[in-house]
Structure 1
């Protein structure tokens, strides 16, 4: 079993040939390339395939087999990369606030990273689906911070931080977190629940997301959307399994698993979405 990530293979996977020095410039460049090359996706839970978080499994799936993953897979892989390069990295956990009622309490089921460079602290998150961060944020509050995509800011109440994103002139909360470290055993427990609970949205529906220099592609079941940087969105609905497979391969850059359940699951998704539209 490998104890360290193969950086050469990883750099080839994300098409990166830049600096590997322990610097903010390197962190920015790696995060930007990672998020565009390795998409957010939930095919394993959807198809009943186990999600394993050890380094060997992460590298085999997302680097060697050209797949993506959800927050634990994405951020753990990136954590291994950064640590191999000499960065000081700490795993954190967050409660999702995106599209939640103000008084709703959610579990700490999201993963993000704190990266320290010299005396400065940064937040990194390469696994938040539709609004995955494409650049690091300083761990500073009440200031607007630019990223290659949306503007962000951090609001702090006591020891709790809220990550917000600006969408069409409105600040929307994404998640809340503190700076207590979270360990692999904690992530494994949460990941198992999200990938096996029959009611989990990772088990019941298809989702994928990938940013590009000009915006963001997102896929929710058979609805493909492109969110432009100016706030406009284009939606298209996929009507066949062949269309869905083509989009996953060509837009989300995935090598799809060769499984007998693959076509039947996609056919079920397309059928369900068509029936839902017909009932509107």
Structure 2
């Protein structure tokens, strides 16, 4: 797969105007800007529309059509941009444990990135929805690392790593993974599974998230939630497809796809 991205279009989409360098400051700033501008969303699988992962399709959807996407789309696009700047990037794959027991055996359905900068290794992930990292973590276990929102940390045992976030005082695991680089075809297979399997959350439910610099916005079906550090979550239930569309456009900054296909799916969302 070609990694030749229209870097100017990408930087314009995420609103990044600072100088570019192959360093941690640039990596973190790009991740923060990406997470704030390009929302996590699953409108394609919800509507039965394919999710292509080729770079040209990602550019068209996420850069030019005003859409977002989920982990494979987000992190493949981010990886292409980082490589165009000059970073060395390896794609990894993870088993999601968010809202699961620590010992749960889940499929490998999440993509994250290992990035080399100035002789050090960092992990970054702009595609984990409600708990988007929106930054970068030094590849060092057992150390709490600050972000603009929650602290994150990495745990490691016998070559298996766990990504955790401190949520209201508790360390919660997002996913577990190893450091073996993955090929593009591994993401194609996992993407097909999560976007077409009838029991997949991405097929059954509306899942949208955006990580701004000071808050996290999430929408699951009709429940819209705003979370700010140190405060109680603000929740409200949306009524009707019209209100859902307004929130998608105004809060998540989405340009909506074909409404003739979308609106029936929104009307069918569970209350």
Which residue does 1:276 correspond to in 2? none
Q: CA RMSD in A?
A: 1.2
**Separation in structure 2 between the aligned mates of residue 160 and residue 71 of structure 1, nearest angstrom:** 20
Please say if residues 168 and 231 of structure 1, whose CA atoms lie closer than 8 Å, have aligned partners that are also in contact.
no
**Separation in structure 1 between the aligned mates of residue 15 and residue 99 of structure 2, nearest angstrom:** 34
Which residue does 2:113 correspond to in 1? 113
Mean Cα displacement is larger for which, 98-107 or 171-180? 98-107
Deviations 1:232-273 (A, max 9, x none): 20101001111000000000000001242211111111xx31
Tell me if 1:178 matches 2:178: yes
Q: How does 1:167-246 map to 2 (within 5 A)?
A: 167-246=167-246
Runs of 5+ consecutive residues of structure 1 not aligned to the other structure: 274-280
**Separation in structure 2 between the aligned mates of residue 102 and residue 25 of structure 1, nearest angstrom:** 33
Structure 1's consecutive aligned runs of 4 or more residues displaced over 6 angstroms after TM superposition are: none
Deviations 1:60-80 (A, max 9, x none): 000000100000000000000
Tell me if 1:73 matches 2:90: no
Which residue does 1:131 correspond to in 2? 131
**Separation in structure 2 between the aligned mates of residue 126 and residue 103 of structure 1, nearest angstrom:** 25
Equivalent position SS for 2:187: helix
TM-score by length of 1: 0.95
Q: CA deviation at 1:2?
A: 7.4
Mean Cα displacement is larger for which, 226-235 or 52-61? 226-235
Which residue does 1:52 correspond to in 2? 52
Runs of 5+ consecutive residues of structure 2 not aligned to the other structure: none
Which residue does 1:278 correspond to in 2? none
Higher relative contact order (CA 8 A, sep 6+): 2
TM-score by length of 2: 0.98
Which residue does 1:29 correspond to in 2? 29
**Separation in structure 2 between the aligned mates of residue 252 and residue 214 of structure 1, nearest angstrom:** 14
